[in-house]
Structure 1
Amino acid sequence: MGTAERREAHEAARGTGTSGAREQAYHRPLWVEEPARRRRLPDPVRTAAVRAVLVIAVTLIQAMVAFLCTLAGSWLAFPMVISSVVSTILATWAALDVWVTRQVWHQRHGVVSAPSSTARALRRERRRARRQERSAERAQSRIRRGGGAGQLSHS
């Protein structure tokens, strides 16, 4: 469907002619909102992930500089190699931090999970037992409230 065809369809829907279209610009949205395919990461996890990406990027740059300094025979090669080793340890820690933060967040805020059929059946059994206990308890309380034995009327 070309632009002219879209414009005509839009004008037909609005009830304006082609002369009105030239006077009034065709207005269409710049983008169309689509629902996200995946849910957004929780804030603490996203923060840890951004930090990890930055640390890993700096580590890769340091490693490349250390390699180039070594090839050039520069005095800076040794300090850069040492800093690259330390930076690699920090990058590993940052990646683990993302994983740990994610686990902690899930533990604190719960995870949406679909229980297995076994768990569902056990829960149903427990509910049924509780209902029976409550109904038996209500029946006992009614019997106790009923008054003395052999009483036929409330007078």
Structure 2
Amino acid sequence: MATADETGVPRRLWVEEPVGRRRLPDPVRTAAVRAVIVTAVTMTQALTAFFFTVTGSWLAFPMVLSSVASTVGATWAVLDVWVTRQVWNQRNGVVSVPSSTARQLRRERRKARRTARAQARESARIRRRGSGRLSQA
């Protein structure tokens, strides 16, 4: 049970705190999880290879070879996280904050397109209504 502080109000068990930084994008997070798993397996293999070597087991040599191969794979996985992050930043690098220049430019272009479409509709409507007649009769 939560204890009460000086004011007599019981303390809450769960307190929401604001996150310090934004969440990683999904592809980057997936690559990071993959890299952590591959690195953990590599560390386990290296430790197992060390113990097999110390005990003089016949499995030491195959484990050392697989540890070397896993080290290459773990390095590749970590580089994959870095490359995926760089690609994500290049493709989706513009942060849409209210002061963003890119956002303002997009808004102005959108407004100009809307105005141009409205003018085109209005001129087409006027041409249709006139249809070449000089009088209503």
The correspondence of residues 1-155 of structure 1 with structure 2, limited to 5 A, is: 6-7=5-6, 9-10=7-8, 27-41=10-24, 45-67=28-50, 69-70=52-53, 72=54, 74-75=56-57, 76-98=59-81, 111=92, 113-114=94-95, 117=101, 120-121=104-105, 124=108, 127-128=111-112, 131-132=115-116, 134-146=118-130, 148-149=133-134, 151=135, 154-155=136-137
Q: Secondary structure at the match of 2:56?
A: coil
Q: In the TM superposition, what is the alpha-carbon distance from 1:55 to its structure 2 partner?
A: 1.9
- The separation in 2 between residues aligned to 1:41 and 1:142, in whole angstroms, is 53
Which TM-score applies when normalising by structure 1? 0.54
| Aligned residues with identical type, % of pairs | 51
The 1:63–1:131 alpha-carbon spacing in structure 2 relative to 1, beyond 3 Å, is same
Q: Secondary structure at the match of 2:45?
A: helix
Moved more, 39-48 or 73-82: 39-48
Q: In the TM superposition, what is the alpha-carbon distance from 1:145 to its structure 2 partner?
A: 0.7
- The separation in 2 between residues aligned to 1:84 and 1:56, in whole angstroms, is 11
Which TM-score applies when normalising by structure 2? 0.58
Deviations 1:29-72 (A, max 9, x none): 123111322344456654543332122122123324434554x4
Q: Secondary structure at the match of 1:82?
A: helix
* Gap runs ≥5 in structure 1: 11-25
Number of matched pairs = 129
